[in-house]
Amino acid sequence: MTEATHDRIGSLINDNKIMVFMKGTKLMPQCGFSNNVVQILNTLGVPYETVDVLADPEVRQGIKEYSSWPTIPQVYINGEFLGGSDILIELYQKGELQQMVEVVMAS
């Protein structure tokens, strides 16, 4: 990954309390896993930003290197890598995601 791509990814993560790197957009997710993440975050009613990795091949590959995580979507909360769709579903079902989001939104 280029330094510029690394810096761009870092800025996106640090400038947004909840950042999702996904296939497609909030309004048109392009895979089931990305759709799961969008549905969960929409259910929580929290503001979040997304980047469509399909529209940016450098970010698509770069985010995998940045997080050392091989799959998309990737969710960052308060600058920390949380995980992908399965992890978000698990945290949501346990009620832990709601708590994390409340803390971040209050800060």
Mean pLDDT of the chain: 96
User: pLDDT tens digit string along 48-72?
Assistant: 999 999 999 999 999 999 999 999 9
Q: Count up the domains in the chain and report the number.
A: 1
What average pLDDT does this structure show over 22-36? Answer: 97
User: 3-state class of 2 per DSSP?
Assistant: coil
What average pLDDT does this structure show over 63-88? Answer: 97
Residues 39, 30: Cα–Cα separation, whole Å: 13
pTM as predicted: 0.95
Q: Please identify which residue in the block is written with the tokens 């330094």.
A: 3
Asked if 105 contacts 41 with a C-beta cutoff of 8 angstroms, the reply is no
Residues 55, 90: Cα–Cα separation, whole Å: 28
Could you tell me the pLDDT band of residue 97, with boundaries at 50, 70 and 90?
very high
Asked if 97 contacts 44 with a C-beta cutoff of 8 angstroms, the reply is yes
Residue 95 belongs to domain with CATH number: 3.40.30.10
DSSP 25-84: -SSSBSSHHHHHHHHHHHHHT---EEEEGGG-HHHHHHHHHHHT--SS-EEEETTEEEE-
The residue range of the domain holding 84 is 3-106
